[in-house]
Amino acid sequence: MLSNYYSKKKKVILSALGLNFLICNIRNLNKWFLMSLPALKCWVPVLSNLRQTNHLSLFKITIFFLIQVTPIPELFLTAVKLSHDNTGARYLHLAREDKNNLFSVQFRTTPMDSTGVPHILEHTVLCGSQKYPCRDPFFKMLNRSLSTFMNAFTASDYTLYPFSTQNPKDFQNLLSVYLDAAFFPCLRELDFWQEGWRLEHEDPADPQTPLIFKGIVFNEMKGAFTDNERIFSQHLQNRLLPDHTYSVISGGDPLCIPDLTWEQLKQFHATHYHPSNARFFTYGNFQLEKHLKQIDEETLSKFQKIEPSTIVPAQKPWDKPREYQITCGPDSLATDSSKQTTVSVSFLLPGITNTFEAFTLNLLSSLLIGGPNSPFYKALIESGLGTGFSPDVGYNGYTREAYFSVGLQGIAEKDIQTVRNIIDRTIDEVIEKGFEDDRIEALLHKTEIQMKHQSTSFGLTLTSYIASCWNHDGDPVELLKLGNQMAQFRQHLKESPVFLQEKIKQYFKNNQHKLTLSMKPDDKYYEKQTQMETEKLQQKVNSLSRKDKERIYEKGLELRTQQSKTQDASCLPALKVSDIERTIPFTELDVTLAAGEIPVQYCAQPTNGMVYFRAFSSLNTLPEELKLYVPLFCSVLTKLGCGILNYREQAQQIELKTGGMTVSPHVLPDDSHLDTYEQGVLFSSLCLDRNLPDMMHLWSEIFNNPCFEEEEHFKVLVKMSAQELSNGIPDSGHLYAAIRASRTLTPAGDLQETFNGMDQVRLMKRIAEMTDIKPVLRKLPRIKKHLLNCDNMSRCSVNATPQQMSETEKVVERFIKNLGRSKKERKTVRPHVIEKPAYNGSSGSTYVNGSQIIRKLITDPTFKPCQMKTHFLLPFPVNYVGECVRTVAYTDPDHASLKILARLMTAKFLHTEIREKGGAYGGGAKLSRDGVFTFYSYRDPNSIETLHSFGKAVDWAKSGKFTQQDIDEAKLSVFSAVDAPVAPSDKGMDHFLYGLSDEMKQAHREQLFAVSHDKLTDVSNKYLGIGKCTHGLAVLGPENAKIAKDPSWIIR
């Protein structure tokens, strides 16, 4: 519902959540939450309980049949598989000592057209149900619960409804709402109009204005297909699997969505949303019997078994390869306008329910495309023909039959055949030569690390991971037995050294079900899309009688009235503010001085044999002209070689000895002053405890002897980075708008734009276009001198088990002693530096022992915020809008009030105005840690109108037209984020990065509890009104006549 159509993005979700050893082509991972693994012994009583007679009788009472109980020690869980007698509904419970419990229900949804019926249905069922008939209970529950996750997803052939929470009462509340929504929705016509599509007057109150298409999903999919990668991925699946449901767009083609009727929507629900076509999943440490009882009583007992006709038949294999060419919109940020073609070669693979074959092909895919030592990276990426792999590269296991795809984007059209020849030649070479043993070991090592690494949203990871296989009647429990699959894989390799080559011969070399898909830009692509939409609209309007037009006008007014009406949500269950824990658990930290000068923070945690290392280096001495290049420096530092290792050998060692080594620029706000911040670079890595000396040796070589001589490989990395930044704009446009809008509000804002904004996107485009890249490459050693030495290292941190700490201290001490020093003293570029100690035992924190961490902060006493309005012209049919306001720092009591206010404005005003009335996919307000208050919209058909809505939201807040119940709901929503689970690997990070002690966080918590109606109206008047504090505005999107006429806007 919040980010629900994910045929392209599901891989990214799974990988980011902690199972990326099972996914082979992940780039630009989003940050997601993380979790704690228990000791295996916790499961002994659980297993014995499940086998006791009285426990088994429970399943009979609740009309569930127990099929099997399976311990899966490698994932520290026990799988309980059941089925429901009356309906045949399938049920899987994963018992694990994890307090972040999850529920999901999924339905096999197999559309046969591109009207987007499963996607629009997924939206509409969440708009009210028999038991909870109020409008939009889903969004209302976001503010009545302490959920750690709530959403819904439409995939190509199933729809999934998951939520998670740590509170048992909350779990029961959300379960009741989700069950009623899925099985007994109202499916009102006006909700279909709002969520799906409708004809409505441009101004609903004026019947003289033209009729246009509106609707949330309609606009969402228009936005989705501004992403050329998504266009390519969608066509690839449609063309490779053309016989059944995969030949259509389950999310909806904007040109087909207006063909869907309300009656068809209701019929699709009747035939697909039945327990006999459902799979129920629960995870965590709450009692299984309570789940079963509630699900049966509230839902399953009201149905009888049917035989759903939703099975996806096997794709008929081709007798010869096929080729297709498609077009897309031009990329205005492409590094070379003559090189915007994409081509890939794809092969149909076996069904995904053969779990070992799927596991093998997934690993094989990683060997073929993963990293600079892989055959296709060497042959394609390093050929210099393109800017990166084609979309959906690698193994794709989300359809009934899997497929493998490989190719290049950013090539010249004339090079299509060259790329195809390289792919064929590379397949032949791999069949002949196979893979080095070290590469296979590195991949299996990565799998071991991912099984031990702990994610706080592991339940969500697992339900997403098993969804496709289970959807096609595969065994989800077998899929989870990763230890068995690894052992079987090793055994096959032992018995047959050419095991993997045989697979390549079978599935690639001798496979006639092979698709070559190419995509080239068409300068008139968006013009043609607009023309087709106009024709579709004209066709619809011309078919209307006068009576139809009157009804449309009346229905439009009725919808607007309903959207504006205050809703009675009293039928919905809700937690109370009194259900929120008053205090936070405190984390014990120890800080020692390594080599007598560098503070190292040690945090003993149950990390399951993993060690997490971080270091932070200051950028205070770096000359201003080099700042722009810091993100590029960070992205290539661990990829160009170090010491005696070239870049291929370095990549191999990183994979063999670590779970990854990352370097990223950071701008960290001060907790008490808006004009003060810390600038630096964070180095992060993780490893199995046995590999700690090797990992720290790698860091020593990277710091002391980095290699900046690999010009050709540097060119490759630059092109890939520029392409990834450009491709990321359609999904992250609202973030870019917010960064730009806040640029001139604080001294840190300009640096944020430099590191993470559109300035950085455009810089990388310019560098990638350079014929001579040496001048940029020569800047890297200069940055190194100001960053990779003992003098600039500010602090380090280690999270590991208590048993590992003694050895870890010795290894980290040795690393710091070996760090080089500057040959001459380097002064800070900015004259105003404040040394600020993080709180410890001697300065107000009883849980931080030992030495102090001193943060060297930059301040600018002469800084004056100013307003700036920027419009980035991009060839999209939708907008991304941001408006930012400078407010107050974290420790100011008003910060807590503004945080609650942002949530209140989102839930009670902006959601209605921007999403429901305006038709944007998303919108709201948020307060950042740096004290910048942001209004935003996402995939929005409007821009100036949305900015007016932001202004109206401020007027609404100042008027105080909200109740105590509204305030309490906003507090619940804020606390659900504040109290989100923290992984053992991330404990103590607020102290390490921001200098925030647990006592400071507890004080902020008490300020949140103390927020009142008066305080909310007070901060609305004090900060958000025009003329009170400085505002900044930014829009990313198409040309806009009103903005173009307004000289106060800068057009970029």
Question: Is residue 122 annotated as part of the catalytic site, yes or no?
Answer: yes
Percent pLDDT > 90 in the chain is 85
Catalogue the E-assigned strands of 45-122: 64-72, 77-84, 90-95, 101-108
| Long-range contacts (CB closer than 8 Å, 24 or more residues apart) made by 724-727 | 724/27, 724/28, 724/388, 725/333, 725/760, 725/761, 725/764, 726/331, 726/333, 726/334, 726/761, 726/765, 727/227, 727/228, 727/229
pLDDT of 3 above 80: no
What is the pLDDT, as a whole number, of residue 36? 24
Q: Please state, in angstroms and as integers, the Cα–Cα distance from residue 3 to each residue in 182, 220, 703, following that order.
A: 18, 10, 40
| Closest by CA position to 453, among listed 568, 323, 610 | 610
Q: Rounded CA gap, 753 and 744, in Å?
A: 10
pLDDT in tens, 208-232: 999 999 999 999 999 899 899 999 9
Q: Rounded CA gap, 488 and 34, in Å?
A: 29
pLDDT of 1 above 90: no
What is the pLDDT, as a whole number, of residue 451? 87
Count Cβ atoms below 10 Å from residue 622 Cβ, excluding itself.
24
Q: Please state, in angstroms and as integers, the Cα–Cα distance from residue 915 to each residue in 5, 10, 236, 436, following that order.
A: 16, 24, 31, 53
What is the pLDDT, as a whole number, of residue 844? 53
Confidence band, pLDDT 50/70/90 cuts, at residue 53: very low
What is the pLDDT, as a whole number, of residue 26? 24
Alpha-carbon dihedral sign for residues 29, 35, 36, 40: negative
Q: Rounded CA gap, 12 and 736, in Å?
A: 20
| Selected residue with higher pLDDT from 39 and 579 | 579
Count Cβ atoms below 10 Å from residue 527 Cβ, excluding itself.
12
Q: What is the rounded end-to-end Cα distance, in angstroms, of the chain?
A: 33
What is the pLDDT, as a whole number, of residue 566? 82
The DSSP element (H or E) to which 905 belongs, if any, is: helix 893-905
Confidence band, pLDDT 50/70/90 cuts, at residue 861: confident
Q: What is the mean pLDDT of residues 887-916?
A: 96
What is the pLDDT, as a whole number, of residue 181? 97
What is the pLDDT, as a whole number, of residue 41? 24
Q: Rounded CA gap, 933 and 1025, in Å?
A: 12
pLDDT in tens, 469-489: 999 999 999 999 999 999 999
pLDDT of 842 above 90: no
Q: What is the mean pLDDT of residues 131-155?
A: 93
| Closest by CA position to 742, among listed 728, 756, 732 | 756
pLDDT in tens, 144-182: 999 999 999 999 999 999 999 999 999 999 999 999 999
What is the pLDDT, as a whole number, of residue 825? 63
Q: Rounded CA gap, 386 and 590, in Å?
A: 49
What is the pLDDT, as a whole number, of residue 757? 96
Under 8 Å between Cβ of 815 and 789: no
847's tokens: 């849980």
Q: Rounded CA gap, 441 and 458, in Å?
A: 25
pLDDT of 696 above 60: yes
pLDDT in tens, 735-758: 999 999 999 999 999 999 999 999
For all residues of the chain together, what is the average pLDDT?
Answer: 91
What is the pLDDT, as a whole number, of residue 20? 33
What is the pLDDT, as a whole number, of residue 846? 57
Confidence band, pLDDT 50/70/90 cuts, at residue 876: confident
The mean-pLDDT minimum among 11-20, 67-76, 217-226, 817-826 falls in 11-20
Q: Rounded CA gap, 719 and 710, in Å?
A: 14
pLDDT of 367 above 80: yes
Q: What is the mean pLDDT of residues 791-797?
A: 94
What b/e string do you get for 388-398 counting C-beta neighbours within 10 Å, with b at 16 or more? bbbbbbbbbbb
Q: Please state, in angstroms and as integers, the Cα–Cα distance from residue 1017 to each residue in 211, 890, 930, 1010, 1024, following that order.
A: 39, 19, 21, 14, 10
Q: Which residue bears the tokens 């300009």?
A: 750
Percent pLDDT > 70 in the chain is 92
pLDDT in tens, 617-670: 999 999 999 999 999 999 999 999 999 999 999 999 999 999 999 999 999 999
Neighbouring C-alpha atoms within 13 Å toward the C-beta of 336: 18
Q: Rounded CA gap, 688 and 161, in Å?
A: 35
Q: How would DSSP label each residue in 519-557?
A: EEE-TTHHHHHHHHHHHHHHHHHHT--HHHHHHHHHHHH
pLDDT of 567 above 90: no
Confidence band, pLDDT 50/70/90 cuts, at residue 852: confident
Q: What is the mean pLDDT of residues 757-769?
A: 94
pLDDT of 12 above 70: no
The catalytically annotated residue of 74, 122, 200, 478 is 122
pLDDT of 16 above 80: no
| Selected residue with higher pLDDT from 452 and 945 | 945
| Closest by CA position to 80, among listed 43, 107, 116 | 43
What is the pLDDT, as a whole number, of residue 595? 82
